[in-house]
A and B are shown apart, each in its own frame.
Chain A
Amino acid sequence: MIISAQKQLEEILRLINNDPVFLIGCSECATMCKTGGEEEILIMKKILEQKEITVTGYVILDPACNLQKSKIQFKNVKENLNKAKKLVVFSCGNGVQTVSEIFENLEVISGTNTLFLGEIKHANEFEKNCIMCGECIQEIFNGFCPVSRCPKHMLNGPCGGSRDGKCEVSSNLDCIWNTIYLSYKKKGQLNKFKQILAPKDWSKSLEFKRVI
């Protein structure tokens, strides 16, 4: 899932700059991580109206990253959309661009920051688990990905900053190489640790389009 977080209210207000707005949410990832579901959009609507900002309406796209479906959904709210000067989108960065692609004459504001592709650990806790590098090599690491989960993308074992199973960059972050090493040990595969991995082929991360 794409994990996002709402921007600070002051930042959103600064971007809106007292103009009439139409709010756009997303039924999938942004709903799951509580940044742009119907519940959050209604709360935002209320807050903005208290600040005397005109909210002309709202829609929860299903989902915001689907261009054709979004076009159809927008048709149903055309009247309210036309009253707005700015569209505030509470989805991932992709949804913002889908909206921009549809509305050439309206100003589009992102109400969220898109953080990472991650796992829902608990209802209110998410963790980055993939950076979409284009070439999955997780089988080498028993399914724990150092490309995305090590801040230095180390492919050949932990750096000197691993301490008590945690990463020196953040005490909230497990040292993924500690996890990988323990997994090798548990499965009797310590020989896997000894192989030297060649530099990663980052050209695989340069795909910009896929057509089936």
Chain B
Amino acid sequence: MIQYGNLERVLSDGKFAVTAEVGPPKGCDISKFKSKADLLKGYATAFNVTDNQTAVVRLSSLAGSVFLLNMGLEPILQLTCRDRNRIALQSDILGASALGIRNVLCLTGDHQSFGNHPQSMGVYDIDSIQLIKILKDMRDEGVFQNKEEIPHGKPQLFIGAAAHPFSDPLECRVDRLEKKIDAGVDFIQTQSVFNIERFQEWMDEVRSRQIDKKVHILAGITPLKSVKMTERMQFHIPGVDMPNDIADRIKKAEDPEKEGFNISLELIEKIKAISGIHGIHITALFWEQVIPSIVKEAGLYR
């Protein structure tokens, strides 16, 4: 019997789940991280702790996850293949599970050339799909990647991964999601959704293959805070499809934050109506304070 956390329970009970992202600090002072966590406590079932996102060095996702655990928040440990080979990844997973972390999000990782150490060597010994399979085999078969038995306790994990409904080549995206399911993923968090029509089309394909019955899908929500951030999302983040009408609303708004908030609520309403969606994942980049009011206004606060 696997010891899962609340996220698995909420999703298995068929409830609409909320997860949210909290980025660890760029340094050892965790006071702001802790106050963000205090603010968010209760507003999501589980919280993603990012793993050196955009390849910028930050406090480790493992340490950040432990801080959350100690504060009574359930973490989702993000784990990228960029900085660690299969030895380090499996080792970190053993450590995470022993520390009581029950959720992990398997990512290949943003390329190091985008970060603050572009001179670094990327590892990429394995990719995210292989990581999913390795973790599943560790949990279910009790074996390491080399098939050797784990002699002293296998990890307890709810395994997650990302999906990119808007990235090119578009037509391979459901296939790639299906590969993640075949590899053994339990839940999916998608790239931020702005183009709801295209997201619906993607979900139509997902449902036609009954993928929504095999995995819990949480749709990504990113509240837009400013014109600058909107333009960045629109033109510089691969895999984000932002329709002009949404970007225009932010540009024309007297209060872009208020407009961004409203857009998020509208998107959540539409997403809730899509069959096969099991929750939302809120990524409020450097604007975590807005999460509680989004969750409350969306009627998702329990």
A interface vs B, CB < 8 Å? 151-165, 168-169, 175, 177-178, 181-182, 185, 190, 193-194, 196-200, 202
Contacts and interface: CB of A to CB of B under 8 A. Distances in A.
Nearest to B127: A154
Given A161-B239, A178-B168, A190-B175, 13 more contacts: A155-B127, A156-B128, A156-B176, A158-B167, A160-B191, A160-B239, A163-B167, A163-B168, A175-B168, A193-B175, A194-B175, A196-B129, A196-B130
Contacts of B145: 199
Interface of B: 81-82, 86, 108-109, 111, 113, 122, 124-130, 133-134, 145, 162, 164, 167-169, 171-172, 175-176, 178-179, 182-183, 191, 238-239
B238 A163 contact: yes
A16 B301 CA distance: 70
Contacts of A193: 172, 175
Contacts of A164: 168
A160 B111 CA distance: 11
Contact of B167 (A151, A161, A182): A161
Contacts of A162: 167-169, 238
A199 B125 contact: yes
With a 10 A CB-CB cut-off, give which of A152, A164, A181 has the most chain B CB atoms. Answer: A152
B172 A158 contact: yes
A152 B178 contact: no
Nearest to A170: B113
Contact of A153 (B124, B172, B179): B124
Nearest to B183: A196
A144 to B, nearest CB: 14
B291 to A, nearest CB: 23
Contacts of A168: 111, 238
B209 to A, nearest CB: 11
B88 to A, nearest CB: 13
Contact of B108 (A159, A185, A194, A198): A159
B105 to A, nearest CB: 14
CB-CB nearest 5 A-B residue pairs? A160-B164, A160-B239, A156-B129, A161-B238, A160-B167
Nearest to B130: A199
Contacts of A178: 168-169
A185 B128 CA distance: 23
Contacts of B86: 199
Contacts of B178: 194
A181 B169 contact: yes
Contacts of B124: 152-154
11 contacts: A151-B111, A152-B108, A154-B124, A156-B179, A157-B176, A158-B167, A161-B167, A165-B169, A177-B169, A196-B183, A199-B130
B224 to A, nearest CB: 19
Given A151-B122, A194-B175, A182 B164 contact: no
